[in-house]
Amino acid sequence: MKVGLVVPQAGVNATKENLITFIHLAEREGFESLWVYDRMLYAINPQQPYPGTPDKREWPESFKNVLDPLTTLAFIAANTSKVNLGTCIIDMIFHNPITLTKEFTTIDILSEGRTICGFGIGWSKDEYLAANIPYEKRGERADEILQVMKKVWTDDIVEFNGDFYKIPKSIIGPKPIQKPHPKILLGGFSPKTFERMIKYGDGHIGVLAGSFEYFTNSIKMFNDAIEKSSGRRNRKDFDLTILTYPYLFTSSSENDRSSHRPPPMTGRTIDEIGSDLSKLKSFGIDRVILAVNAEKDYDVNETIEFVKELRKFCE
């Protein structure tokens, strides 16, 4: 199971110094990939609770300070030479599809073919409002975006006439190094996500944020979608990547806070967290992404040592 890392892109420790140190150490230690994500804003009075926390209206503090993902990814490309570069995820709905395609193409060229495109459709009505995009028909809009992107990447003459996007007959270059295009991994939790993956994608980015029972249901939807594709594509054609949030309890109050079972990827010891990684490996996951919170007590060197210990459970 390959191991990727989310870079310190958000929170008070999202600094140039921390970013450079982190990506250099990660590449030197042989981690497979580095990842960034999209967060447009921190809603003070959000219209919806944060996903996975039905009663929690306040979003994570780190969302108040987030570096732009694609600019950050280009910076990482310029400061590394081997590690793959991915997004987990970009909310494609908020971007013009031609501009988004050219941004990924540029990073793919400058990184010499190391780009992985993780896309989602977003969940925050506040971000939809700020982007001036209707919340309705977001799935149909996403389908058109993916159609446009694949045309721009592969067609010498690009023309598109959809309900949401139109392109007059044009030449749009350059083309990416990876052929026919960088891998497209789609995030989401509904059956529609997996139908979209079969039509337009090369894999899925899931999240281990709730119970393993809920996670198992997502894996079932992933496998069922492939089986329903009538043999046109099979499991080896798809990359299954899972984003996780490992956290090691450090205080007695955290250790004793509850008699309930702790969330996945949390524990009092490395072995407790590692047992969850072993479970993921048993599900046939292709890649796990480790996202360590870069808030107040964050230290780059300690974080790299932490994820190195966790990587042992993925080998």
Greater confidence, 261 or 38?
A: 38
User: 181-196, pLDDT tens digit by residue?
Assistant: 999 999 998 899 999 9
Per cent of the chain over pLDDT 90 is: 83
User: 10-24, pLDDT tens digit by residue?
Assistant: 999 999 999 999 999
Instruction: Tell me which amino acid residue 173 is.
Output: G
- Collapse the DSSP code of 144 into the 3-class scheme (helix H, G, I; strand E, B; otherwise coil) and give the result: helix
Which CATH number applies to 2-314: 3.10.310.10, 3.40.50.300, 3.20.20.30, 3.40.640.10?
3.20.20.30
Q: In this structure, what are the phi and psi dihedrals at residue 79, rounded to the nearest 5 degrees? A: -115, 10
For the whole model, what pTM was predicted?
A: 0.95
User: Which of 103, 106, 113, 104 shows the shortest CA–CA distance to 81?
Assistant: 113
C-alpha 119/C-alpha 242 separation (Å) is: 14
Per cent of the chain over pLDDT 70 is: 95
pLDDT surpassing 60 at residue 259: no
User: Which of 271, 224, 111 shows the shortest CA–CA distance to 178?
Assistant: 111
pLDDT surpassing 60 at residue 129: yes
User: 140-158, pLDDT tens digit by residue?
Assistant: 999 999 999 999 999 999 9
pLDDT reported for residue 297: 87
